[in-house]
Amino acid sequence: MPSKIRRDASAKALRDENAELLQFLYACPTGLISLDAGGTMLMLNPLAMQLVLPLVRNHEVSNLFKILEPYAPELRSMLASFAPQQGTVCDAHRVFVGRGDRGDVDKVLSCTLVKLSHDRYIATLSDATLQVAQERRLKQAEAWFSSLIDGVDDFAAISLNAHGRIDHVNASVRRQTGFAEHELIGLFLDVFDAPDPASSVLSCREQVALATRDGWHLDEGWCARRDGSRQWCQRLISVCREEGDIEGRTISGFTVVLRAVTRKAADAASLKRRLTTDHLTGVSNRAHFFELAERETARCRRDGVSAALLMLDIDHFKTVNDTFGHAAGDQALKTVSAACGRALQPQDTLARLGGEEFVVLLPLTDLRRAGDVAERLRAMVAALEIVTPFGTFAVTASFGCSMLDDGTASVGVALAAADRALYAAKRGGRNRVALSEREDVAA
């Protein structure tokens, strides 16, 4: 029967077309998700699965907002406050999810969310980790160059030979640093180092090493003056190549520009603050924590020293929110983080990882001392009074400690060990401190 043959042929054509479409979606290099207004994922392609799977526990891949809640709680409210019938809710919104697959670098996802109807949304997810790292560098450069154009102050210019020793300085160097040219010739740039752990600025030698690797390095921090005082300087180190060296492999020296930052450069400082702090609590943000912790890990490896990570999580925080409201919950986060910040040393870094979870980076600290610090913070938090317009209450927090040392594979691995210890503290009844087993940290 010709009509049956035609039907079969068209059914096969449809099947093939369907298979082709599926293959197209399976191979798509961007994550695609279709979801309803509550965040339930109706469909997702393999790349979307690959990106969300590391963020879920127990393979519960069902609700996108729930999965991203610890990292981007704002997604839900952005969607709720989006009034139009359809349109783009957010475009390439950055979500810092940390802890890559193997816990190496701070991972960043880029999420675009489009409303199709009141209960149908489509989202794209992609990995923006590299892009974000590049942008951070560009933003620094932008802040630097815009301040160069705006400012009319002096620039101290110093040239270094291929070994990093000072071989020439301009006249402004004396005005800005107090050193005469003959006092500087032959010295390393270290002469301007003004160690200040609180600002976590790299040493001059580390900055020269970075410039060697990248071609240039830009930083901001304290610079020592001859009279022992210090001033806040922007510092650009760029590499000079041999002339005619097309490959650009041989370094003939470096040019260093130092510029004292005055009020005119407050823009750069506020940009830096915006990039590094958590909006609600004012402590370091997740991205900044990973940056500092990576640097600390490198230092541990290089110098054979150790540092400690201390994770803390406010107990029964959901109950606080449910009982007193989210505004009171926010106040609790602010009170606890401010009190912890005051109790720590200037070289320590307190950061908010997300939700009610914080982390403290303690340089040059062993596990036992970290345990003591945690115990001190625990007692202090438990004694705090959280005063809000919705009532006054108390909270407790649980703590997990782990180590960073020359055997630590990555920040993510150490953080996961601290997280396991924190979980043990929670399981042990909360309002307590648990230390990670040493074996856990060395991966």
Partner 1 sequence: MSAISPTASFRSAPFEAVPHALLCIMGSTQLNRLPFGVVGLSPDGLVEVYNHTEARLAGLNRDDVLGTSFFLSVAQCMNNFLVAQRFDDEEEIDAVVAYVLTFRMRPTPVRLRLLKRADHPRRYLLIQR
Q: Find the binder of partner 1 among 7, 13, 14, 16 (CB under 8 A).
A: 16
Q: How far is the CB of 31 from partner 1 (least distance, A)?
A: 9
Q: Find the binder of partner 1 among 6, 8, 10, 26 (CB under 8 A).
A: 26
Please choose, from the candidates 300, 309, 307, 372, the residue with its C-alpha nearest in 3D space to the C-alpha of residue 343: 372
**3 state DSSP class of 141:** helix
Alpha helix ranges (H) inside 304-410: 317-324, 326-343, 367-383
Q: Is residue 126 involved in binding partner 1 (CB under 8 A)?
A: no
Q: Is residue 109 involved in binding partner 1 (CB under 8 A)?
A: no
Segment near partner 1 (CB under 8 A), from 24-32, 72-80, 265-273, 364-372?
Answer: 24-32
Segment near partner 1 (CB under 8 A), from 23-31, 209-217, 292-300, 397-405?
Answer: 23-31
Q: Is residue 134 involved in binding partner 1 (CB under 8 A)?
A: no
Q: Is residue 18 involved in binding partner 1 (CB under 8 A)?
A: yes
**3 state DSSP class of 27:** coil
Q: How far is the CB of 107 from partner 1 (least distance, A)?
A: 12
Q: Is residue 45 involved in binding partner 1 (CB under 8 A)?
A: yes
Q: Is residue 23 involved in binding partner 1 (CB under 8 A)?
A: yes
Long-range pairs for 102-106: beta carbons < 8 A, 24 or more residues apart: 102/410, 102/412, 103/409, 103/410, 103/411, 103/412, 103/413, 103/415, 103/416, 104/410, 104/411, 104/412, 105/129, 105/290, 105/294, 105/410, 105/412, 106/286, 106/287, 106/290, 106/291
255 CB-near residues (< 8 Å, 6+ apart): 157, 158, 159, 160, 237, 238, 240
Q: Find the binder of partner 1 among 11, 13, 14, 27 (CB under 8 A).
A: 27
CA distance 37 to 79: 8
Q: How far is the CB of 417 from partner 1 (least distance, A)?
A: 18
Q: Is residue 53 involved in binding partner 1 (CB under 8 A)?
A: yes
Q: Is residue 59 involved in binding partner 1 (CB under 8 A)?
A: yes
Q: Find the binder of partner 1 among 7, 10, 14, 62 (CB under 8 A).
A: 62
Q: How far is CA 156 from CA 76, 178, 403, in A?
A: 50, 11, 41
Segment near partner 1 (CB under 8 A), from 19-27, 148-156, 364-372, 388-396?
Answer: 19-27
Q: Is residue 101 involved in binding partner 1 (CB under 8 A)?
A: yes
Scan for tokens 């980790």, then name that residue: 129
Q: Is residue 44 involved in binding partner 1 (CB under 8 A)?
A: yes
Segment near partner 1 (CB under 8 A), from 39-47, 230-238, 315-323, 396-404?
Answer: 39-47
Scan for tokens 């041989």, then name that residue: 250
Segment near partner 1 (CB under 8 A), from 58-66, 149-157, 333-341, 379-387?
Answer: 58-66
Handedness of CA 381, 386, 392, 393 (dihedral sign): negative
Q: Is residue 25 involved in binding partner 1 (CB under 8 A)?
A: yes
Q: How many CA atoms lie within 13 A of 122 on its CB side?
A: 8
Please choose, from the candidates 438, 432, 337, 336, the residue with its C-alpha nearest in 3D space to the C-alpha of residue 378: 432
Q: Which is nearer to partner 1, 62 or 252 (CB)?
A: 62
What is the Cα Rg of the chain in Å? 27
Q: Which of the 8 DSSP states describes residue 154?
A: -
CA distance 114 to 116: 6
Token representation of residue 286:
């997740």
Q: How far is the CB of 25 from partner 1 (least distance, A)?
A: 6
Q: Which is nearer to partner 1, 50 or 131 (CB)?
A: 50
Handedness of CA 239, 240, 244, 245 (dihedral sign): negative
Q: Find the binder of partner 1 among 36, 37, 61, 146 (CB under 8 A).
A: 61
Binding to partner 1, residues 262-291 (CB under 8 A): none
Helix (H), strand (E), coil (C) string for 299-326: HHHHHCCCEEEEEEEECCHHHHHHHHCH
Task: Determine the size of the site formed for partner 1 (CB under 8 A).
Answer: 28
Q: Which is nearer to partner 1, 108 or 201 (CB)?
A: 108
Q: How far is the CB of 379 from partner 1 (least distance, A)?
A: 40
Q: Find the binder of partner 1 among 9, 11, 13, 22 (CB under 8 A).
A: 22
Q: Is residue 443 involved in binding partner 1 (CB under 8 A)?
A: no
- Single-letter amino acid, residue 61: V
| Burial class for 208, CB neighbours closer than 10 Å (0-12, 13-18, 19+) | buried
Q: Find the binder of partner 1 among 1, 4, 5, 20 (CB under 8 A).
A: 20
Binding residues for partner 1 (CB under 8 A): 16, 18-20, 22-23, 25-27, 29, 32, 34, 41, 43-50, 53-54, 59, 61-62, 101-102
